[in-house]
Amino acid sequence: FVPLLGGRRRLSYSTWSDMAEEAKKLAGYAAVNNHVKNNYVVGVGSGSTIVYAVDRLAERVQQENLKIVCVPTSFQARQLILKHGLPLSDLDRHPELDVAIDGADEVDSSLTLIKGGGGCLTQEKIVADCARHFIVIADYRKDSKCLGQQWKKGIPVEVIPMAYVPIGRDITRRFGGEVVLRMGVSKAGPVVTDNSNFILDWKFEKVHNWKEVNMAIKMIPGVVETGLFIDMAERVYFGMQDGTVRIR
Ligand code: 5RP
């Protein structure tokens, strides 16, 4: 294990968003330092936090002559890998990964995650499942005692487009809350995933047994995958406001 970066540091920020960005960087760097070794096949997650992890991967490849191969979880991840000149692979060639590193929208005390804020949940879950170790990186805002405390946008569910209405009705009839079809930034049309599907965001009202709910939603015809990641994360790195990294 390579030691964590820095330790406690006195940091000054001009904005709250600078603080969050620094926290993402701390988490990404620490996870790559501690969990990537020579000759590893590395799953690369999606989102804004993973950008820092890939920066650090590229640094280590340069500085330590580290040999790695990267498997992306999205178009964005693929572009990041290519931008840094890192070796790009896929699950056809590398169906077994040594480690996958990815962000999260919310993490509870038992390491259950909500993911899919960027709509990449299906490929992220597949890649994480193929990895011996699944490591999550996040800033302090993602840490919560129970799901729903922090991430107010609900649980993303990737669905086959023709079925989005019946699936949404089924979820609310059985579990309550509200289901919203995720729209693109311009609101001109729905978000379309890398797999050409739609995303429903289920805004739940109460705490559920997430294992049961996850299974039940997955059984609805037309559901591709949910953004609930249960019993998958081995460790979570939170970048904190005071410049430390908290590992759960
Ligand atoms: C994308 C994801 C991301 O990993 C998640 O939304 C966290 O993103 P960020 O690092 O930007 O906070 O699940 O589908």
Cα 50 to averaged position of ligand 1 atoms, centre (Å): 8
pLDDT in tens, the chain (248 residues): 344 554 555 556 667 788 999 999 999 999 999 999 999 999 999 999 999 999 999 999 999 999 999 999 999 999 999 999 999 999 999 999 999 999 999 999 999 999 999 999 999 999 999 999 999 999 999 999 999 888 789 999 999 999 999 999 999 999 999 999 999 988 889 999 999 999 999 999 998 899 999 999 999 999 999 999 999 999 999 999 999 999 99
Catalytic residues: 124
Whether complex ipTM tops 0.85 = yes
Substitution candidate for ligand 1 out of 24, 54, 120, 127 with most atoms within 8 A of CB: 120
104 CB less than 6 Å from ligand 1?
yes
28 CB less than 6 Å from ligand 1?
no
Residue 243 CA to residue 139 CA, distance in Å, equals 11
Residue 65 CA to residue 4 CA, distance in Å, equals 20
Contact 177, 204 (CB under 8 A): yes
Taking the CA atoms of residue 29, residue 232, residue 218 and residue 167 in that order, the dihedral angle to the nearest 10 degrees is: -30
Threshold 0.80, pTM exceeds: yes
105 CB less than 6 Å from ligand 1?
yes
